[in-house]
Amino acid sequence: MEQTSRLRTIGIGAAGLAVTFGLWWLVAATVLADFQIPTPGEVLSAFGDRGWSYYSTVFEITLKESMYGYVVGVALALATAMVVLLVPVIEPIVMQFAVITYCLPIVVLAPILITVHDIPEKGGLSSTAIDLAAVSVFFTTVVGAVLGFRAAERSTLDVVSVYGGSRFQQFWRVRVVSALPALFTTLQIAAPAAFLGALLGEYFDRHLEIGVGPSLILSQNNRETALAWSLGIGCAVVSGAAYALLGLLGRLVAPWSKGVAR
């Protein structure tokens, strides 16, 4: 039954993808022909002209920036959520700070970060992109982690307390285990957000020469529409792959979240 359900899900996804590409091709070749919307064939042609080496080089830089920012932002968010659970009195202040990081406009924050950091070396990583990736994941991770930690059953926490366990032991032995499904869901959401933050950081940091952001700017300036679309689709594929990979990891680490026995 489970295998049939998976095959059905894959089939529906493949059919939806085929319909989407078919509609895209039809609309681009007819209704929107005057708006320079490339067809899927033109996008594939642009990908073939540039070659795998071009895209791997471009995406490697942005992926590194997003991963560094992701690790830093998630680590800070989890540490913050842990402190909130252990010291509840500071929760209002911490949550207000998290909301502020979420509400900060990228178009304002990016120029400030660019002026603060040194100009990156040729082929190097952008500190602005890393910072924006970290900021992009902080709020959602803090909120998801706090809600996950609070999902622990009160009776189980009381058992640890009765046997002399401290609040930290309650947190480590009960809350962390109970929060795993929610944590991995939060980490899934944070992965595309980190990539988007790094991409925006590259887009604003005009000192960069290599990366998805600079490549998008060049394709825009050169009116290479098909190239821009290929880069955009590549971003969607990378973000979706990270989301799916973390979802699979979550099922392996916390199989009870899907009703699967160890």
Q: How far apart are CA 55 and CA 67, in angstroms?
A: 18
Residue 64 banded pLDDT, cuts 50, 70, 90: very high
Q: Within this chain, do residues 160 and 182 fall inside the same structural domain, yes or no?
A: yes
Give the pTM: 0.84
Residues 30 and 133 in one domain: no
Q: Taking 50 as the threshold, does the pLDDT of residue 261 lie above it?
A: no
CB 102: neighbour CB atoms within 10 A? 14
**Boundaries of domain holding 2:** 1-37
Residues 11 and 119 in one domain: no
Contact yes or no for 197/262 (Cβ under 8 A): no
Domains contained in the chain, number: 2
**Tokens standing for residue 22:** 């078919």
* 259 pLDDT above the threshold of 60: no
Are 20 and 126 in a shared domain? Answer: no
- Mind giving me the DSSP string for 111-141? HHHHHHSPPPPTT---HHHHHHHHHHHHHHH
Compute the distance between CA of residue 188 and CA of residue 91 in angstroms, rounded to an integer.
24
Asked if the model's pLDDT at residue 73 lies above 90, the reply is yes
Co-location of 95 and 111 in the same domain: yes
Structure confidence by residue, pLDDT tens digits, 150-163: 777 766 666 667 66
